[in-house]
Amino acid sequence: MNSEPRRVEHQQTDRGNIPVYAVGTVEQPWSRYSRMDHDVWAQLFRRQREILKHRASREFLDNQERFGMSADAIPKFDDLNAVLAKGTGWEIIGVEGLLPDQVFFDHLANRRFPVTWWIRKPEQLDYISEPDLFHDLFGHVPLLLNPVFADYMQAYGRGGVKAHGIGADALMNLTRLYWYTVEFGLINTPEGLRIYGSGIVSSKGESVYALESEAPNRLGFDLERIMRTRYKIDTFQQTYFVIDSFEQLMEATEPDFRPIYERVASMPVFPAGEVQSSDRVFHRGTGQGWLKSGDV
């Protein structure tokens, strides 16, 4: 058999955290997970399922249940893939860490979702600066079973390949869209706002903060507005964008982005926490506890 896949993490340097990328795909070394790895999964799984009961969107919770994931053990990619194959034709592939943009886009464009094979350490239960198995599996995989969201993710991958060919600014605009939808999106439902973003559902603190804190803004989804909005990577978000449905998301992102990228290129960029007069405001944040610096 081949050797143990690598655990590729960011590097701590005197100039801060530098992300490190890995390219290949790996088999999930399931039999080599330790008792500690399974325990970390169990703790995170139980904790988030409880917190998300009335906070995550129905689509997220119901689809997660269809996979039969449980606290008992880290799920096997093969088992999840059997469910995905029948559902929406997506496939999970194992990776060692962050992928370069182009590689990531190519996988999505072909309905392959990269999942980090390794899980965080017990001292990282509350925070980790890069995606690990818990974030990727628990957070991203459930909605790949939703037919509309499944198509959105593939369209995003194709759009990424295209944006990459256009230039760095287009890529930045597209990355912001991913950030404010796939990672940190909220959805409006008859019961109130709910979470669907993977970055939120895989975080205990942000699951509560995103919905219940007075601090952040909650604004209606607006494609061009999002493309112009900076974001935070190492603190909770200052603004969340709310969609009405996955169909709305799909429709808004259907058109060719080329003319939109061109238009947006000559317009000002917004700080992460600023509300604009044209915004549809669900909640105007108090801004309590915000760091002014550090927008990406």
Contacts of 105 (CB under 8 A, 6+ apart): 157, 158, 160, 161, 164
By beta-carbon proximity to ligand PHE, the closer residue of 44 and 177 is 177
Token pair 């909640």 is found at 283
Please report whether residue 196 would count as binding ligand PHE according to CB under 6 A: no
Do residues 59 and 195 touch, judged by C-beta distance below 8 A? no
The 8-class DSSP code of residue 180 comes to I
By beta-carbon proximity to ligand PHE, the closer residue of 29 and 220 is 220
Stretch that binds ligand PHE, among 39-47, 76-84, 104-112, 249-257 (CB under 6 A): 249-257
By beta-carbon proximity to ligand PHE, the closer residue of 52 and 144 is 144
55 touches, from ligand PHE, Co ion, none (C-beta below 5 to 8 Å by class) = none
Give strand ranges (E) for the chain. Answer: 11-13, 16-18, 25-26, 91-95, 112-116, 186-189, 192-195, 217-220, 239-243, 281-283
Do residues 226 and 129 touch, judged by C-beta distance below 8 A? no
For residue 164, the minimal CB distance to ligand PHE (Å) is 11
Residues 145 to 164: which contact ligand PHE by CB under 6 A? 152, 155-156, 159, 162
Contacts of 14 (CB under 8 A, 6+ apart): none
Please report whether residue 253 would count as binding ligand PHE according to CB under 6 A: yes
198 touches, from Co ion, ligand PHE, none (C-beta below 5 to 8 Å by class) = Co ion
Please report whether residue 198 would count as binding Co ion according to CB under 5 A: yes
Residues of this chain that interact with ligand PHE (CB under 6 A) are 152, 155-156, 159, 162, 177, 253-257
